[in-house]
Chains A and B, each alone.
Chain A
Amino acid sequence: MRRTFTALLVALMLAGVASAQEFDWRQFEGEEIRFMMNQHPFTDFIEPLVPEFEELTGIDVTLESYPEDQFRQRRLLEVASGAPTLDGYMIMPGQVGAQYLGAGWVRHIDDFVENDSLTMPDLDLQDFFAGALSTFQSEEGLYGLPLQIESSLLFYREDLFEEAGLDGPPETLEELAEYAAALDSDEVAGFAMRGRGAAATSQIVNLLYSFGGEWLNEDGSSALASEESVAALEYYADLLRNYGPPGPTNLHWNEVMSLYAQGEVAMVFDANVFRSIVEDPEQAIDVVRENTRYAPLPAGPDGSVPAVLVWGLSINHASDSPEAAWYFIQWALSKENQVKALLAGVPAARESAWENEEFQATAPESWIEASRESFNRGQPNWNPPVVPVAEVRDAYGQAIVAALQGEPVEPALERAAEEMDQIVARTN
């Protein structure tokens, strides 16, 4: 009697679950999924936690990780082959978004998000930084979720500012140039940022946007020769030529950061993650470590429009277990796991994680504030939104080097725009 009662109760409960379409972690028990990952702090962080997910869901997860170059090649091969055994992968939309969307290699997830039985109740998409989520937004909808977000900031020396009688960080690009002039001396250069051709484009794009420029015109042709783009590059070249360290065409991020860490330059603009270099006593001299403050990108004629660099997780178009893959993504990027990721050193893409008190105690206030501001304002295309990203960056890079060598900016950009159109046409 008692046993039948229990059985009845269980049956009733199951029926209830089924009819209300409630979210159930064990819905895909027994499925196997495979994700391809970049060897990245996030992967190091999530890998040991995977057994928790397996226990929770009964889904068997394999994470394969490779160093970045290899990772990108392998992902390309597997995704292009259409093999259903790959269920998901790490992806940087700013790098390959145009290519993967164009080829139909990502699975859009709106139908999952709208389905209450497939999406956990506290997913809370609004919690992701606006700049991070927007990178996964295409015309056809959402195609993944962000796992981390980076942006570039102004690093500056408060002690040198005080000496020069400057108050607070520059708020406009005009002010930035004035500050650089005031700080520049024989011992210390006023300002530095990347100048090494293609490597510099990821930073200059911040100026391009803030001057109102774009990568592409409405019709898909190159916008690099636009008035705004010319103004941005002229501004940049003047700044570096007049107040930068010697040989700006040589500057990659490690040159920029080591100059700053050694006290050779008063302000630099580069990725916020390089705080780790500035705070490392092995790499930075004391006066730099003690006096560095951070500020968001100063505003140009079109405001302060920083580009954000976002890594995330997407579902493979060919996956035969897309629902199980979606479960894994939700779990890996849950509020709880994003806090843990942030505490493990991964700049998490959820705003709520950044409010964690334990985290706030680990980073300078000005850095947290400036970073969050940039993340919310961020523009996703830190690269040209085309398939042949590297070659277009290289063409733009040639114009950057020409400008730094004192050549006229306009013809250099006209040539870059022309080359960019040819390059893009080749893959269409």
Chain B
Amino acid sequence: MKRASDFFDRYAQWLFPLPALLAIAVLIVGPVLANFYISLHNWFIGLPPTFVGLDNFQEALADRRFWNGVRNTFYFTLLAVPIQLVLGLGIAVLFNREFPGKGLVRTIILLPMVATPVAIALIWALMFNPSLGVLNYFLESLGLPRSLWVANADLVIPSLVMVDVWEWTPMIALILLAALQGIPGEYYEAARIDGATGIQAFLHITLPSIRSAIVVALILRTVDALKTFDIIYVITGGGPGIASETLNVFAFKTGFQFFRAGYSASLLIFLMFLVLGVAILLNLARRGGK
């Protein structure tokens, strides 16, 4: 009996995280390794796989559709995340003050984030419809010309970004709001006594105080945006043509519609390193700034 408790005491730091480690091994490490293994094969699902070494990776680098996917992935992310950050900050600052009905407004603004993404995407798809959609109805009632929205190759990514911004800005607002509420009121009092304007206080007190929260929000959103799948797949399926096909959507189609498991696996390895690389860069930027 005593021995057993000794054992637990001595190895507590290993035993407690063990279930979590096992879960990670089974649910994350296993599939990633399997994915690496599959990526070395030419495998049309239903036919026997053949080992081809790194051919799939080579093929990807020569595939115009792969590069189209990379470009669209970055275009989408670089457009969506900055807008979300600016709007999210604005909303957070607004909610950091007192005003009547604040609780209600806050709940409403958080709703897009908690709704089911596929359901959201289906509704937006209806709203984007050039002939029957409500968005063109609004444009027309404002006296503006109709738009083709997602049916136009040049407008499709900005339109999808609009959905992403609508859906995920609340998350940034939430993170930043928590950070804002942690800033001691004395700072602002002192600034006011020294005669600082509101803008000066914002630039020199607010922003520096929530800097690390901003970076955290930025990393979370960027990683997520690079992997965006649901809204793009449901609204456009990567179309028109391949105008909104991101790397993730391309890999999905390759694997689950075209049944090319090996090639799809290699595309996802590219995506993984791409996401990892961006996350590391952002993290370095955070540390470097400190």
Contact = CB atoms under 8 A, between A and B. Distances in A.
Q: Do A and B bind each other?
A: yes
Interface of A: 76, 80, 99, 103, 189, 196-197, 245-250, 255, 258-259, 262, 264, 387-388, 390-391, 394, 397-398, 401-402, 404-405, 426-427
Interface in B133-184: 146, 148-153
A424 B261 CA distance: 16
**Interface of chain B, main secondary structure:** loop
Interface residues of B, number: 27
Interface in B209-246: 237, 239-242
B44 A394 contact: no
Contacts of B259: 388, 390
B12 to A, nearest CB: 44
B44 A427 contact: yes
Given A196-B237, A197-B241, A387-B44, A246 B132 contact: no
Given A80-B46, A391-B257, 16 more contacts: A103-B46, A103-B47, A189-B131, A197-B239, A245-B131, A250-B130, A250-B151, A250-B240, A259-B132, A262-B132, A390-B258, A391-B258, A391-B260, A398-B241, A426-B42, A427-B47
B206 interface: no
Contacts of A80: 46
Contacts of B131: 189, 245-247, 259, 264
B285 interface: no
16 contacts: A76-B45, A99-B46, A196-B237, A246-B151, A249-B151, A249-B240, A250-B128, A250-B150, A387-B44, A390-B258, A391-B257, A398-B241, A398-B242, A401-B239, A401-B240, A427-B44
Given A196-B239, A249-B151, A394 B253 contact: yes
A427 B46 CA distance: 10
Contacts of A404: 240
B283 interface: no
Instruction: Give the 10 A-B CB pairs with smallest separation, nearest first.
Output: A247-B151, A250-B151, A249-B240, A401-B241, A391-B258, A247-B130, A246-B130, A247-B148, A390-B257, A427-B44
A299 B47 CA distance: 40
Contacts of A196: 237, 239-240
A82 to B, nearest CB: 13
Contact of B44 (A247, A248, A397, A426): A426
B150 A402 contact: no
A150 to B, nearest CB: 22
A174 B261 CA distance: 44
Contacts of B239: 196-197, 249-250, 401
Contact of A246 (B45, B146, B241): B146
Contacts of B45: 76
B35 interface: no
Contacts of A401: 239-241
A189 B132 CA distance: 13
Nearest to B65: A398
A394 B257 contact: yes
Nearest to A76: B46
A197 B65 CA distance: 15
Contacts of A246: 130-131, 146, 148, 151
Contacts of B146: 246
Contact of A245 (B42, B130, B150, B153): B130
Which of B131, B150, B152, B153 has the most chain A CB within a 10 Å cutoff? B131
A270 to B, nearest CB: 16
Contacts of B242: 398
B257 A405 contact: no
Contacts of B46: 76, 80, 99, 103
B240 A405 contact: yes
Contacts of B151: 246-250
A255 B129 contact: yes
Nearest to A249: B240
Interface string B246-290: 000000010001111000000000000000000000000000000
